[in-house]
Amino acid sequence: MNHVAVLFGGISTEREVSLATGAQVIAALQEAGFRVTPVEVGGDLPVLIAALQAAKPDAVFNALHGRFGEDGCVQGVLDWLGIPYTHSGVRASSVAMDKAAAKAVFAAHGLPLAEHRVVSPAELEAADPLDRPYVVKPVNEGSSVGVEILKEGDNRRAEIARAWRFGDRIMTEEFIAGRELTVAVMGDRPLAVTEIGTGHAFYDYDAKYADGGSQHTIPARVPADIAEAAMAAALRAHQALGCRGVSRADFRYDDASGRLALLEVNTQPGMTRTSLVPEQAAHVGINFPELCAWLVREARHGP
């Protein structure tokens, strides 16, 4: 697989993140010796298909984020075209992107979860679905888009419900105080545990992407048994969803109680040189061009 088309941009709320990922992946693959065709994706699907048919790549590096890029949509197009691609296939991508479906899979596999409930905007407007504090988030968005925390005395619940613009389902989830941890899985190997520190109320969009928005500690300064549990749960979640390539599992860890809870799995994690997955890969001796090249070598199509 010497010729790689890199898909980046897209039409989701995470377009800017994908543009940054794509630019750095293109440079890394070129550094690794691949011939690269950049394909900036917009809202015209026939244009994308025509570009791929004209380029005739050996594989596609999927650097898209968010809806249509990591929810199984573009994966289905690539399956139809018969082009191998990086990261997870249609089934794992679509299930992981739907937080309710993913949590059902995790629960069936005995993974540790926060209490959660899916409600409609009308139900949220009428009453608290869970004891406070709890988190409100879209069922199928990434990068913490639309996430809010409702604590005691916060009177924004009805306002949030009336202004909701992310579909007719809302994921509400028990807020677990403590620390934010994340684990990357590469193939069948959990890489490390990173603690994400931020002055924000949680690891929100600005904390993820603004300069100085967060601090990453790798390896996380947590008890050895917690690190082992997080790595084991990340691998089990990756396998339960049927992921391939790389994924990243996010957790909350409460020091006071020792509780560890899996929040979600990202099948298209950020892939700039300073993103969490490349940082963990570097920690175990895999540089960014090597990581991108490995993903291309693992590219395939199918479920």
Q: Of residues 209, 245, 247, 279, which has the active-site annotation? A: 209
95-98: long-range contacts at Cβ-Cβ below 8 A with a sequence spacing of 24 or more? 95/241, 95/242, 96/70, 96/241, 96/243, 96/247, 96/264, 96/265, 96/266, 96/267, 97/67, 97/70, 97/71, 97/72, 97/140, 97/142, 97/267, 98/71, 98/139, 98/140
User: Which amino acid is present at 166?
Assistant: F
Q: Out of 85, 270, 275, 279, which one is annotated catalytic?
A: 270
The answer to whether residue 143 is catalytic is: yes
Catalytic-role residue among 15, 236, 248, 252: 248
Residue 79 is a catalytic residue: no
Q: Is 264 a catalytic residue?
A: yes
Contact 277, 269 (CB under 8 A): yes
Whether residue 209 lies in the annotated active site? yes
Active-site option among 14, 180, 204, 279 = 14
Q: Which is the catalytic residue, given 70, 141, 250, 279?
A: 250
Catalytic residue among 98, 264, 275, 279: 264
The catalytically annotated residue of 12, 143, 144, 247 is 143
What is the spatial distance between Cα 49 and Cα 140, in angstroms, rounded to a whole number?
25
Say which of 12, 214, 247, 266 is annotated catalytic. Answer: 266
Q: Is 168 a catalytic residue?
A: no
Q: Which residues pair with 295 in a beta bridge?
A: none
94 given a catalytic annotation: no
Whether 287 sits among the annotated catalytic residues: the reply is no
How many CB atoms lie under 10 A from the CB of residue 238? Answer: 29
Residues marked active site are found at 14, 143, 209, 248, 250, 264, 266, 270
